[in-house]
Amino acid sequence: MSANDIMLAWNFILSVTVGIVGFIVKDKFDELQRISILLNRTREEIARDNVTQAELDRIVSHLDGRFSKLESKIDELIRQHHAQ
């Protein structure tokens, strides 16, 4: 084998190796992009489906006020019933 043949074989081996590595890297990069998109969708769904602590506090406060009014009305009805 001449030096030219060895260099040609070495270039072929390097080209095939770089091609395979490039294909694998591109495949992994595409997979990483797909996972990133899925992660962002998951974050959006979690944010949509869950409430913040401030929203929960506001809802609890509203319900507490409604139950206080209801309790007052029941107490008034009981007083009226005992007064009769």
pLDDT surpassing 80 at residue 63: yes
Rounded CA-CA distance 4/58 in Å is 81
pLDDT in tens, 20-30: 999 999 999 99
Please tell me the predicted confidence (pLDDT) of residue 21. Answer: 98
Is the model's pTM score more than 0.85? no
For residues 13 and 43, membership in a common domain is answered with yes
Please tell me the predicted confidence (pLDDT) of residue 57. Answer: 92
For residues 5 and 46, membership in a common domain is answered with yes
Taking residues 58-76, report their average pLDDT: 94
- Domain assignment of residue 77, given as a range: 52-84
For residues 56 and 46, membership in a common domain is answered with no
Q: Which two tokens stand for residue 71?
A: 């309790």
For residue 30, what is the DSSP state? H
pLDDT surpassing 80 at residue 42: yes
For residues 34 and 60, membership in a common domain is answered with no
For residues 43 and 12, membership in a common domain is answered with yes
Domains of the chain: total: 2
